Structure 1
């Protein structure tokens, strides 16, 4: 019974993986065909849809041969921000702090670029 349920879930995951590129191929095919309906654009649209289907099948088989389609889909749909929100907030705070320190140049760099800066600073402080 366990193998039957595994087969069903893996099959559903396989179909979900195939559906994504196939739908993209259908949309691209429709965008090719509908602005100028003719036999050439119809053939090009069908080729785009079939290409999406073939790419989807290849992608789904690669996922199935790896760790499985359900594992693949769970990684695609996972939201790590919700699993550990504290770590996400800390990493964003560290990133913001790093960006702020990059924006403030050191006094040595300013003195090298503007040699009269110390003189101007002294004049401002005496006012």
Structure 2
């Protein structure tokens, strides 16, 4: 049970990492396509997909996708702000 859940969470994190460059490439590709060069727009979109896949594979091999996503989603600035507010309220 635990092994399947770990694979699932790693897969979701891998998709999140790959999605960001893909989305950027598709948006730029659509803009280029609407400007009149559909072929270049498709190439830019596919380039974003390839960059996303390569980046996600590299992250998964080096440190693990869940660890990477946990580190990038952490907000120490907000944690400090929250702990400061609770100390003021208690003290």
Report the aligned-residue RMSD: 1.6
Which residue of 65, 73, 84 maps to 1:69? 65
Shift of 1:42: 1.3
Deviation at 1:85, TM superposition (A): 3.6
In structure 1, the partner of 2:54 is: 58
Q: Which residue of 1 aligns with 2:23?
A: 23
Segments of structure 1 that go 5 or more residues without pairing to the other structure are 87-127
1:62 CA drift (Å): 1.0
- Residue equivalent to 1:44: 40
Structure 2 gaps of 5+ residues are 83-91
Q: Distance in 2 between matches of 1:11 and 1:46?
A: 26
Comparing both structures, which one devotes a greater share of its residues to helix?
2
Q: Which whole-Å CA distance do the structure 2 matches of 1:23 and 1:62 have between them?
A: 19
Q: CA deviation at 1:70?
A: 1.1
SS at match of 2:18: helix
Equivalenced residue count is 83
Match of 1:81 in 2: 77
C-alpha distance after superposition, 1:30-50 (max 9, x if no partner)? 1101022xxxx1110111011
Structure 1 partner of 2:89: none
Q: State the shift of 1:76 in Å.
A: 1.2
What TM-score comes out, normalization by structure 1 length?
Answer: 0.61
Instruction: Normalising by structure 2, report the TM-score.
Output: 0.83
Instruction: Point out the structure with max Rg over C-alpha.
Output: 1
